[in-house]
Structure 1
């Protein structure tokens, strides 16, 4: 039997980091963390990805959405 999977929009902050474990405990689902790179700078996105895995995500993805964000929301 496969477990359900939940995709979490992950910022790398305290709230979403704690949410990974809480969601997994409450639902017994696997949590996939997705962070969006919109060109914001700041913390290294690889550090954010690793943090999600350390907090219990079964998979962590950083999606490069800089072009789409610029075209659809900034221009």
Structure 2
């Protein structure tokens, strides 16, 4: 099974990219996003990624690198 990892913002462009990549490349999509201190907004991002076709969404803690 081909798998594509997508840096996912949760916005319109990357949300449209998930099903497009999946269909065009016949691949499973794994979304990756960074936690830069957004709080509960990340729950929505994760849910949106799955709703548009990602098989999972990983959130990496990047607060120290980007928010401090």
Q: Do they fold alike, i.e. is TM over 0.5? A: yes
Within 2, Cα distance between the matches of 1:59 and 1:29?
Answer: 13
The residue aligned with 1:64 is 61
Once the two structures are superposed, residues 30-65 of structure 1 have per-residue CA deviations (whole angstroms, 9 ceiling, x without a partner) of 0000011122x3761011001000000001111111
Per residue, is there more strand in 1 or in 2?
2
Within 2, Cα distance between the matches of 1:59 and 1:44?
Answer: 17
The residue aligned with 1:4 is 2
What pairs with 1:5-44 in structure 2 (closer than 5 Å)?
Answer: 5-39=3-37, 41=38, 44=41
The residue aligned with 2:42 is 45
Q: Greater Rg, structure 1 or structure 2?
A: 1
Q: TM-score, normalised by structure 2?
A: 0.89
Structure 1's consecutive aligned runs of 4 or more residues displaced over 6 angstroms after TM superposition are none
SS in 2 for 1:62: strand
Q: TM-score, normalised by structure 1?
A: 0.81
Call closer, same or farther: CA 1:65–1:46 in 2, change over 3 Å.
Answer: same
